[in-house]
Amino acid sequence: MNLGKVAVLMGGSSAERDISIMSGSGVLKALQSRGVDAHAFDPAERELGELKREGFQRCFIALHGRFGEDGTVQGALELLGIPYTGSGVMASAIAIDKVMTKRIWRAEGLSTPAWRKVNSAAATRAAFAELGAPMIVKPAREGSSIGLTKVMSLDQCDAAYTQAAQKDEQVLCEQFVSGDEVTVPVLGSGAQARALPVIRIVAPGGNYDYQNKYFSDDTQYLVPCGLPAGEEEKIQALVLQAYQVLGCRGWARADVMIDARTRQPYLLEINTAPGMTGHSLVPMSARAAGISYEELCVRLLQSAARDHGDAPA
């Protein structure tokens, strides 16, 4: 395949390093199986300038979380003049920040649960008084449910805030929506972007935490999702709009909760460098659409781009 020398960026220094290595290893193997000249590259162990010096022509970003999914690596690759997979600098920086993402979605009239941004345990207790129980407390700029607590009573607020604040100085309190949990990948850019099949997630005890996301065989992923007639299309349309208003490109995956009583879908967050592990959901949805893991990796690599067409001098 004439895609040049490719670096699969994996590992990095975020809290999701281990998951990133799992994702990147799968992507690397898939690309190599399709004849791509692909190599592993860990930014935590090597200086990014080596990408240019060693003649890499494209980067597949399999980094998760900060310093990989937040616009920082994307900005460095822009300066190096190397096309990369996924969203550009601005969309990546916004999407990693759940508060900024929700502000934009709300401004665009898209449904997302009520929230408060807090900076203390006292503010968390005040948010609980407003939002009610259950309430989700989580770092504003982390993924994989790291640092997340489902708060059921006022006396849990202090510990929940402390746990989230250890991961990020910005903490988000969010009204919990009880109902079906689904996720929807999107592939493509601009008017050509398309939502893939919806996956309904049924986790043990309704707790889709870090362990149940990556290491449990008890979590069920239903695709076809089995939602009532018309709901899947409605959710796909909502997610596609959420993707486009943030300026995402290449691919992403949005998480949605469906209110059990009203059947109203609510956007939770969007991931611009989704997981590609054995438990990951984008490959699962793609398979349901007739796209193999290997083909998905190649398609994403072929979509590699930069915000600006001309490499800087």
Show which residues are catalytic.
16, 144, 214, 253, 255, 269, 271, 275
Provide the token pair at 64: 């998760």
Q: Say how many CA atoms lie within 13 Å of 184 toward its Cβ.
A: 29
| CB neighbours of residue 152 within 10 Å | 12
Alpha helices (H) in the chain, listed in sequence order: 17-33, 49-53, 72-80, 89-96, 98-107, 121-131, 157-165, 210-214, 231-245, 281-288, 293-302
Of the candidates 234, 305, 300, the one whose C-alpha atom is nearest the C-alpha of residue 84 is: 305
Instruction: Give the β-pairing of 115-118 and 149-151.
Output: unpaired
What letter represents residue 191's amino acid?
A
Q: What's the CA gap between 94 and 89, in Å, rounded? A: 9
